[in-house]
Amino acid sequence: MLISENLNNSLDLLVQKCFEGNRILDRQMSQLEVKFVMNKTASILHPKLAHQFPLLADEISSYQGSRNAMTKYLETFTDSTDYNNPNEVFVKFLDYMKELEQSVIEVMEIAIDEKDIMTHAFLQSFLLELKPFTNQALLLVDKINAYGNSSLSWMLFDSNIKSFIVVGGA
């Protein structure tokens, strides 16, 4: 194994955090579609966001495998969050992205402390892959705030969602 047990356990936590992102986003898309009747928003964002987080987890797991380390797939929580409005949905997504970036940075610091330059380099590249998702979260928060907090404004937001997409093209 070319990664210490401590560092590999930290990578396992990042895998878990990515799967938690999928869980959060799946629940958010359900709320957007059903509760807030933002079907277009949910159908566009679901594959561009929620479906990407297991793929991000797979990147970490593949890296672990390439260093002869096995991934432990840790439990994720049940998400039955009931959002009051779409603003809460997008703010929570932004908060999650900031937490994920910070978690990656913390594992990068462990890699530096352990002089594991290869893992640090991998995580640096991985962190840059997260940037478009954080950018998307910021844009969604800014846009939903600009549109306002009413059923009519949500409908208008929903009708214009394609113009707010920065991940994976429109």
Q: Over 123-150, what HEC string results? A: HHHHHHHHHHHHHHHHHHHHHHHHHCCC
CB atoms under 10 Å from CB of 64, counted, come to 24
Query: Is the residue at 141 inside a domain?
Result: yes
Query: Is the residue at 101 inside a domain?
Result: yes
Range of the domain at 51: 5-164
Q: pTM (2 decimals)?
A: 0.96
Instruction: Return d(Cα 156, Cα 153) in angstroms, integer.
Output: 5
Judged against a pLDDT cut of 60, whether residue 157 lies above it is answered with yes
Give yes or no for a contact between 156 and 150, defined as CB atoms under 8 angstroms apart: no
Query: Is the residue at 71 inside a domain?
Result: yes
Query: Is the residue at 76 inside a domain?
Result: yes
Q: How far is CA 78 from CA 2, 73, 92, 110, 145, in A?
A: 34, 16, 16, 29, 28
Query: Is the residue at 169 inside a domain?
Result: no
Calculate the average pLDDT of the chain: 97
**What CATH number should be reported for the domain holding residue 17?**
1.20.1260.10
Each residue of 5-59: pLDDT tens digit?
A: 999 999 999 999 999 999 999 999 999 999 999 999 999 999 999 999 999 999 9
Query: Is the residue at 102 inside a domain?
Result: yes
Each residue of 54-89: pLDDT tens digit?
A: 999 999 999 999 999 999 999 999 999 999 999 999
Judged against a pLDDT cut of 80, whether residue 170 lies above it is answered with no
Query: Is the residue at 170 inside a domain?
Result: no
Q: Where are the alpha helices (DSSP H) in 31-116?
A: 39-45, 52-66, 86-113
The whole-number pLDDT of residue 169 equals 59
The whole-number pLDDT of residue 1 equals 86
The whole-number pLDDT of residue 139 equals 98
Average pLDDT over residues 126-150: 97
Domains in the chain, number: 1
